[in-house]
């Protein structure tokens, strides 16, 4: 077998780690810092059930149309794709 075989998994990880470190250093130099943000799993059955529950609570609420109209008034689609 050739001595110039494919890089090992460890070498691949090392290259990836170097790229990540370079990117993080660049972002830090720009005055940014990494944060971890946890959000709900929108595909989970529990999340879907809770959304449905909340929507049913709002259904036919006397203020629903008033609130929707106000949201529409403030909505600015400029720049959204």
Instruction: Look at phi and psi of residue 8 and say left if phi exceeds 0, alpha if psi is from -120 to 50, else beta.
Output: beta
pTM over 0.75: no
pLDDT tens-digit series, residues 45-65: 999 999 999 999 988 888 988
The dihedral formed by the CA atoms of 34, 40, 44 and 45, expressed in degrees to the nearest 10: 170
User: Which tokens hold the place of 14?
Assistant: 């090392």
pLDDT tens-digit series, residues 19-30: 999 999 999 999
d(CA 45, CA 26): 39
């Amino acid at each position: 077998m050739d001595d110039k075989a494919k890089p090992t998994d460890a070498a691949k990880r090392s290259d990836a780690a170097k790229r990540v470190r370079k990117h993080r250093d660049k972002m830090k130099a720009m005055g940014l810092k990494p944060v971890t943000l946890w959000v709900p799993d929108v595909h989970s059955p529990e999340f879907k059930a809770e959304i449905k529950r909340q929507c049913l609570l709002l259904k036919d609420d006397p203020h629903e149309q008033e609130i929707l109209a106000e949201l529409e008034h403030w909505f600015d689609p400029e720049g959204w794709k």
